[in-house]
């Protein structure tokens, strides 16, 4: 008897025995019965729903089918075998997935293989996945490495930019600061005054000169002089407002921009506090350093046409008037006679 082997029915495949291999090749697949019930869940999908037992649930109860929208039942879904499916998990975080369904022979149900598609980065972050959760041939792994490399490069670039910006700001601050006293320097003062004039701001300009400072340097040395300047700077910060500019513009010469204030009574009050504070003896090593301060004040109102040089000349003339009066006092330019 001759048997036609081509017509002999092949034995049914044991899908349960094949599933370990499928889990490696397709770690995001499901096996369904012909009724759409889940009978096997691949390891990555298990990890994504570790708190839910998907076995026995209907496929369309776990996943919402976004496309094709016309599909409402498992029978309709099997008719769309091999078509691209757009799915979304019905539970938070409502992950979007791509899939394809393939019918198994002999009515043994169907396999649905899935992937994240372009949402792979969000999927990895949401579920704490790593390369072991994907097939070795999945291009998502290379994409993840590229994303990780790009992220690391961007972090490094941001850190570098922050450091460069910080260094730039530090350099700019250093360029505008008097290194001995920590006050603004002449360059910074000129810039701030020019900006105030350009904005047509109302302010007062004080010029302050230390009296008898040269004597401290000559008799007690430059170390004593430097210490006195640092102590004077502390008095100046304490007796002026936080937003006022204080600058050391010469060896013992200082400049103040008192923003928004042109009332003589208030300005004289500030000037007198400065004079009293600076007149207090300053102890250095075993000696006492005695100095005082003379101040000239010029006020600037909105709409005034004087430029920076003219305004500084006014405060200088008022300062020299204070020196002529005997020092340790303040004079307003507006109070000078024409002959002064």
Give the domain CATH number at 331.
3.30.70.270
Q: Give yes or no: residues 132 and 213 share one domain.
A: no
Percentage with pLDDT > 90 across the chain? 38
Q: Give yes or no: residues 17 and 125 share one domain.
A: yes
Is 331 a member of any domain? yes
Q: Kindly name the residue from 126, 252, 259, 316 that is annotated as catalytic.
A: 252
Q: Give yes or no: residues 96 and 210 share one domain.
A: no
Q: Is 245 helix (H, G, I), strand (E, B) or coil?
A: strand
The least confident of 54-58, 100-104, 154-158, 293-297 is: 154-158
Q: Give yes or no: residues 108 and 42 share one domain.
A: yes
Q: Is 200 a catalytic residue?
A: no
> Which residues touch 325 (CB under 8 Å, ≥6 apart)?
331
What is the C-alpha R_g of the chain? 42
* Residue of 307 and 153 predicted with greater confidence: 307
Last residue of a domain, which of 102, 122, 137? Answer: 137
Identify the band that residue 44 occupies on the pLDDT scale cut at 50, 70 and 90. Answer: confident
Nearest of 285, 156, 270 to residue 223 by alpha carbon: 285
Predicted pLDDT at 7? 41
Q: How many domains does the chain have?
A: 2
Q: What is the pLDDT of residues 281-298, one digit of tens each?
A: 999 988 999 999 999 999
Give the domain CATH number at 104.
3.30.450.260
Q: For residue 206, count other CB atoms closer than 10 A to its CB.
A: 24
Half-sphere exposure of 189 (CA within 13 A, CB side): 23
Is 244 a member of any domain? yes
Q: Is the peptide bond before 93 cis (omega within 30 degrees of 0)?
A: yes
Q: Give yes or no: residues 223 and 325 share one domain.
A: yes
Q: Give yes or no: residues 196 and 128 share one domain.
A: no
Is 319 a member of any domain? yes
Predicted pLDDT at 320? 94
Q: Give yes or no: residues 310 and 218 share one domain.
A: yes
Last residue of a domain, which of 137, 166, 194? Answer: 137
Say if strands 245-248 and 253-259 run parallel, antiparallel, or are unpaired: antiparallel
Q: Which two tokens stand for residue 172?
A: 């700019």
Is 216 a member of any domain? yes
Q: Give yes or no: residues 14 and 117 share one domain.
A: yes
Q: Give yes or no: residues 109 and 201 share one domain.
A: no
Percentage with pLDDT > 70 across the chain? 87
Q: Give yes or no: residues 319 and 215 share one domain.
A: yes
Last residue of a domain, which of 100, 121, 137? Answer: 137
Ranges of H-type helices in 134-221: 139-175, 186-198, 213-220
Identify the band that residue 330 occupies on the pLDDT scale cut at 50, 70 and 90. Answer: very high
Question: 203, 262 in Cβ contact below 8 A?
Answer: yes
Q: Give yes or no: residues 82 and 216 share one domain.
A: no
Instruction: Identify the domain containing residue 243 by its residue range.
Output: 186-335
Is 241 a member of any domain? yes
Predicted pLDDT at 151? 65
Is 149 a member of any domain? no
With 0-12 CB in 10 A as exposed, 13-18 as middle and 19+ as buried, what is 313?
Answer: middle
Q: Please determine, for residue 59, whether its predicted confidence score (pLDDT) is greater than 60.
A: yes
The least confident of 15-19, 79-83, 216-220 is: 15-19
* Tokens 């025995």, residue located: 17
Q: Please determine, for residue 233, whether its predicted confidence score (pLDDT) is greater than 90.
A: yes
Is 232 a member of any domain? yes
CA distance 308 to 91: 70
Q: Give yes or no: residues 120 and 193 share one domain.
A: no
Nearest of 208, 213, 219 to residue 183 by alpha carbon: 208
Is 191 a member of any domain? yes
Q: What is the average pLDDT score of the chain?
A: 84
Q: What is the pLDDT of residues 163-208, one digit of tens each?
A: 767 766 656 666 778 999 999 999 999 999 999 999 998 999 999 9
The least confident of 6-10, 170-174, 247-251 is: 6-10
């Amino acid at each position: 008897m001759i048997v036609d082997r081509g017509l002999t029915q092949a034995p049914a495949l044991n899908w349960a025995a094949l599933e370990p291999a499928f889990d490696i090749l397709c770690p995001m697949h499901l096996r369904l019965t012909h009724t759409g019930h889940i009978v096997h869940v691949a390891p990555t999908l298990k990890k994504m729903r570790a708190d839910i037992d998907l076995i026995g649930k209907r496929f369309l109860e776990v996943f919402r089918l976004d496309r094709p929208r016309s599909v409402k039942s498992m029978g309709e879904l099997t008719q769309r075998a091999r078509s691209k499916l757009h799915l979304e998990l019905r539970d938070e975080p409502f992950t979007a997935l791509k899939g394809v369904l393939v019918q198994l022979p002999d009515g043994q149900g169907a396999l649905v293989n899935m992937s994240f598609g372009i949402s792979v980065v969000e999927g990895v972050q949401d579920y704490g996945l790593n390369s072991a959760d994907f097939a070795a041939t999945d291009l998502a792994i290379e994409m993840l490495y590229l994303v990780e490399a790009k992220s690391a490069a961007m972090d490094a670039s941001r850190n570098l930019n922050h450091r460069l910006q910080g260094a730039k700001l530090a350099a700019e601050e250093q360029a505008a600061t008097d290194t001995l006293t920590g006050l603004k320097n002449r360059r910074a003062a000129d810039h701030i005054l020019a900006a105030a004039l350009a904005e047509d701001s109302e302010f007062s300009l004080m010029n302050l000169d230390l009296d008898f400072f040269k004597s401290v340097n000559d008799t007690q040395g430059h170390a004593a002089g430097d210490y006195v300047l640092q102590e004077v700077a502390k008095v100046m910060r304490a007796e002026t407002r936080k937003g006022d500019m204080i600058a050391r513009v010469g060896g013992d010469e200082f400049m103040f921009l008192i923003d928004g204030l042109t009332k003589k009574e208030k300005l004289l009050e500030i000037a007198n506090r400065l004079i009293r504070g600076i007149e207090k003896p300053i102890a250095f090593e075993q000696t006492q350093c005695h100095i005082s301060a003379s101040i000239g004040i010029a006020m600037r109102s909105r709409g005034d046409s004087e430029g920076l040089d003219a305004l500084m000349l006014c405060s200088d003339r008022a300062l020299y008037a204070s020196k002529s009066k005997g020092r340790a006092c303040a004079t307003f330019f507006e109070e000078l006679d024409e002959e002064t």
